[in-house]
């Protein structure tokens, strides 16, 4: 199995890592073609990494150069993938994520390879392919083009498999997403918690972990915290992109609302060895996404290691459905600061049972995730 992943870190790379290890456990020789510095902190990669791809982003302040580099990297990486498949004679390929970006340009070598017998599958994290900056007609044709070589699409089991943006020739397979692993020790986060709340043990720490992105409604969380005196917000992670509000915006908002002493923002990549400190110190995990977010959250899969209550919002999709299904915490309407504030007050006053995490962790299986795809490949030869 050859897995194509352009992301060096973050939720997409984590997803690939656990899938690849599961393929290896199933006795499948597994290769991940990716860019350099792929998950450098991760040990136990029981698969072969091919660091052949260009990094997806250029570190530059010049917007034109960044855009030009990104487009070049997208096309060149797809060509590298095609040559890798051809010359290493891979017969099964799994795309880390479906992507229609510039697909009308790069897809044709893969169409040829599909005709030659190479079989493609794709993780479809968001079946509802939303248009960003391009014209509607280009967006629609790009979606169709990106799926041309794809035979199977892996969608989260809490999605409706009948999605209008996925072409009919793609067989959608409903799969679970497994939990992420973490190194946990007794006392993780104790020092950080003491630093954050000091002598005020009555404070409740709400953790927003991962990319600092507009889709996570961090500004609404700050507004909610400003009116809940016992709440403290900790935001930890790197900036998602240049299009998203920077950490300085949120610090300024907290100062404006008079709650900067109860809002702490740690901007930057969090090394794996530090992750446990943040989750260990937290009382509640915040997953306060906008309604446009209809996928699963990697932070939820990571949070399973600490079994902390969740305060979530999103559009109709796996995140909100899983939290409700396994009773992992409270789900509120997205983009509603009053709902966030009320939920925070409820969690502070009454807490929340964490008993649902055991059932969720048992159900969320990477081995079952890959077994479903392997079975589909074998049955449709």
Nearest-angstrom CA–CA distance, 205 and 198: 12
Identify the pLDDT of residue 197.
Answer: 85
The average pLDDT across 282-306 equals 92
The domain ranges of the chain are 2-178+365-379, 190-363
Asked if residue 263 has pLDDT above 90, the reply is yes
Identify the pLDDT of residue 133.
Answer: 60
Nearest-angstrom CA–CA distance, 42 and 32: 14
Rounded to an integer, what is the distance from CA 343 to the centroid of its chain?
A: 24
pLDDT band at 160 (very low <50, low <70, confident <90, very high): low
For residue range 19-46, list pLDDT tens digits in order: 999 999 999 999 999 999 899 878 789 9
Asked if residue 131 has pLDDT above 60, the reply is no
Q: Do domains 2-178+365-379 and 190-363 have the same CATH topology?
A: yes
List the single range of 89-93, 307-311, 351-355 with lowest mean pLDDT: 351-355
Which long-range contacts (C-beta less than 8 Å, at least 24 apart) are formed by 128-132? 128/163, 128/165, 128/294, 129/98, 129/100, 129/165, 130/292
Residue 367 vs residue 10, higher pLDDT = 367
- Stretch (H or E) spanning 312: strand 310-313
Q: Which two tokens stand for residue 312?
A: 């979530």
Tell me the pLDDT of the chain averaged across its residues: 91
Neighbours of 43 (CB within 10 A): 7
Strand pairing partners for 1?
Answer: none
Question: Into which CATH architecture does domain 2-178+365-379 fall?
Answer: 3-Layer(aba) Sandwich (3.40)
Q: Which two tokens stand for residue 370?
A: 């890959």
Rounded to an integer, what is the distance from CA 249 to the centroid of its chain?
A: 23
Identify the pLDDT of residue 63.
Answer: 83
The average pLDDT across 218-243 equals 93
Identify the pLDDT of residue 226.
Answer: 97
Q: What is the CATH number of domain 190-363?
A: 3.40.50.2000
Strand pairing partners for 154?
Answer: 123, 173
Asked if residue 132 has pLDDT above 60, the reply is no
Identify the pLDDT of residue 161.
Answer: 58
Identify the pLDDT of residue 295.
Answer: 83
Asked if residue 305 has pLDDT above 90, the reply is yes
Asked if residue 135 has pLDDT above 80, the reply is no
Q: Which two tokens stand for residue 35?
A: 């860019």
CA distances from 255 to 247, 248, 260, 264, 349 (A): 13, 11, 5, 11, 26
For residue range 323-371, list pLDDT tens digits in order: 999 999 999 999 999 999 999 999 999 999 999 999 999 898 999 999 9
Asked if residue 288 has pLDDT above 70, the reply is yes
């Amino acid at each position: 199995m050859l897995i194509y992943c352009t992301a060096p870190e973050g939720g997409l790379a984590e997803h690939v890592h656990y899938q690849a290890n599961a393929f290896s456990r199933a006795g499948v020789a597994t290769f991940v073609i990716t860019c350099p510095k792929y998950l450098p902190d991760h040990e136990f990669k029981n698969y072969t990494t091919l660091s052949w791809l260009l990094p997806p982003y250029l570190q530059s302040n010049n917007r034109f150069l960044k855009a030009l580099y990104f487009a070049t990297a997208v096309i060149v990486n797809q060509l590298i993938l095609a040559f890798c498949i051809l010359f290493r004679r891979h017969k099964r390929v799994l795309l880390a994520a479906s992507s229609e970006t510039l697909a009308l340009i790069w897809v044709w070598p893969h169409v040829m390879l599909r005709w030659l017998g190479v079989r493609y599958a794709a993780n479809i994290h968001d079946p509802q392919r939303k248009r960003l900056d391009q014209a509607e007609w280009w967006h629609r044709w790009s979606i169709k083009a990106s799926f041309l070589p794809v035979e199977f699409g892996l969608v989260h089991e809490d999605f409706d498999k009948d999605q209008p943006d996925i072409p009919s020739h793609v067989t959608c397979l409903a799969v679970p997403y497994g939990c992420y692993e973490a190194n946990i020790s007794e006392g993780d986060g104790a020092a950080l918690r003491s630093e954050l709340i000091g002598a005020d043990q009555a404070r409740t720490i709400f953790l927003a972990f991962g990319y600092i992105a507009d889709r996570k409604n961090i500004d609404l969380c700050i507004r909610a915290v400003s009116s809940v005196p016992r709440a403290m917000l900790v935001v930890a992670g790197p900036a998602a992109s240049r299009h998203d509000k920077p950490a300085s915006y949120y610090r300024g908002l907290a100062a404006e609302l008079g709650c900067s002493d109860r809002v702490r923002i740690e901007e930057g990549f969090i090394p794996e060895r530090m992750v446990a400190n943040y989750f260990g110190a937290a009382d509640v995990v915040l997953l306060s996404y906008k309604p446009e977010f209809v996928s699963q959250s990697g932070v939820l899969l990571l949070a399973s290691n600490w079994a902390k209550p969740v305060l979530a919002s999103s559009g109709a999709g796996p995140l909100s459905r899983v939290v409700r299904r396994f009773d992992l915490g409270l789900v509120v309407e997205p983009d509603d600061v009053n709902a966030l504030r009320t939920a925070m007050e409820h969690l502070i006053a009454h807490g929340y049972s964490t008993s649902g995490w055991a059932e969720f962790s048992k159900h969320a299986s990477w081995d079952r995730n890959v077994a479903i795809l392997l079975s589909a490949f074998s049955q449709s030869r």
